[in-house]
């Protein structure tokens, strides 16, 4: 076994391509803080680091849990990771998980120490951070992982949407605005769409191996309808936010991503072969990132050119 193969195996388990989606919600929350004059670059930077480490923890724990349970077999459509290939041992992955948790604790502690101004906020965000670590691990690890009973989607909505956007906003602004729930929900729905495509790709193997994701529970037809609702729902949330709070023509820039999202929804609705989903997974990630980026650019332009 060469060093290159080991390095490749770890990269496959770390899944660096998933990091931009974790960063996107923090960028949206920080852009909203800038829009209201609360932007703090140090807090935003620490939030990005913490979010990235949590995503890495989730990726490693996902590989560990699926490998231990035997859910990922050679006949699955999706790629096999380091543990499934036998390149990374259970002991090595456990060490990697422990190291990642330690790094998250250090980064998270630095974040709340810099950002929190009251004891209540400090304790509250420490608890939220602990819950985020537990959620990242128990998605596939444990005697009853919630990813195996169809609760992964709501977890993504909460942690990639509500907590990431509104949490990064609050740590800079130290106040909450109800309207922020809309862009936070949009971010969460887009991230959930990525998970749903992944689950549609693996729907047959997941069903056979007792991994009852929401896609498995809904069935192939309803899971595809659900996917279209996620994409459309994100656009509706951003539109409502612009109408209620932003009040700017620039705030409609996210609409430029709508044709891509609609095209994706139509493809998923039309194509019933799970083998056709892998290319759509990358396109869904790109569509989510483009939508978030255009929304952020719209926020910035609405302030600069008002």
Where the chain has pLDDT below 70, the residues are 1-4, 70-82
Q: Looking at residue 219, what is its pLDDT?
A: 93
Q: What is the 3-state secondary structure (H, E, C) of the chain?
A: CCHHHHHHHHHHHHCHHHHHHHHHHHHHHHHHHHHCCCCCHHHHHHHHHHHHHHHHHHHHHHHHHHHHHCCCCCCCCCCCCHHHHCCCCHHHHHHHHHHHHHHHHHHHHHHHHHHCCCHHHHHHHHHHHHHHHHHHHHCCCCCCCHHHHCCHHHHHHHHHHHHHHHHHHHHHHCCCCHHHHHHHHHHHHHHHHHHHHHHHHCHHHHHHCCCCCHHHHHCHHHHHHHHHHHHHHHHHHHHHHHHHHHCCHHHHHHHHHHHHHHHHHHHHHHCCCHHHHHHHHHHHHHHHHHHHHHHHHHHHHHHHCC
Q: Looking at residue 70, what is its pLDDT?
A: 67
Q: Looking at residue 180, what is its pLDDT?
A: 96
pTM, whole model, 2 decimals?
Answer: 0.91
Q: Looking at residue 40, what is its pLDDT?
A: 97
Q: Looking at residue 134, what is its pLDDT?
A: 94
Q: Looking at residue 71, what is its pLDDT?
A: 59
Q: Looking at residue 10, what is its pLDDT?
A: 84
Q: Looking at residue 81, what is its pLDDT?
A: 63
Q: Looking at residue 245, what is its pLDDT?
A: 93
Q: Looking at residue 72, what is its pLDDT?
A: 59
Q: Looking at residue 122, what is its pLDDT?
A: 95
- Chain segment 105-121, per-residue pLDDT in tens: 999 999 999 999 999 99
């Amino acid at each position: 076994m060469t060093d290159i193969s080991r390095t490749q195996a770890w990269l496959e388990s770390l899944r660096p391509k998933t990091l931009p989606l974790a960063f996107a919600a923090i960028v949206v929350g920080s852009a909203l803080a800038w829009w209201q004059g609360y932007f703090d670059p140090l807090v935003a930077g620490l939030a990005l680091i913490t979010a990235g480490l949590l995503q890495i923890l989730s990726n490693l724990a996902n590989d560990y849990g699926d490998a231990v349970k035997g859910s990922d077999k050679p006949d699955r459509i999706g790629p096999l990771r380091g543990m499934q290939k036998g390149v990374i041992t259970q002991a090595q992955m456990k060490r990697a998980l422990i190291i990642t948790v330690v790094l998250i604790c250090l980064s998270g502690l630095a974040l709340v120490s810099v950002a929190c101004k009251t004891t209540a906020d400090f304790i509250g965000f420490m608890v939220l951070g602990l819950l985020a670590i537990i959620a990242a691990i128990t998605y596939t690890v444990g005697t009853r992982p919630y990813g195996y009973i169809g609760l992964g989607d709501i977890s993504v909505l909460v942690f990639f949407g509500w907590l990431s956007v509104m949490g990064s906003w609050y740590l800079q602004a130290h106040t909450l605005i109800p309207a922020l729930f809309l862009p936070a929900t949009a971010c969460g729905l887009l991230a959930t769409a990525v998970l749903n495509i992944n689950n549609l790709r693996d729907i047959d193997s997941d069903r056979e191996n007792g991994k009852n994701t929401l896609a498995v529970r809904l069935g192939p037809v309803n899971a595809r309808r659900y996917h279209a609702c996620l994409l459309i729902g994100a656009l509706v949330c951003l539109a409502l936010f612009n109408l209620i709070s932003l009040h700017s023509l620039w705030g409609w820039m996210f609409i430029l991503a709508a044709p891509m999202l609609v095209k994706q929804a139509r493809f998923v609705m039309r194509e019933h072969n799970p083998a056709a989903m892998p290319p759509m997974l990358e396109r869904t990630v790109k569509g989510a990132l483009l939508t978030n980026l255009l929304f952020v650019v719209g926020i910035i332009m609405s302030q600069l050119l008002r």
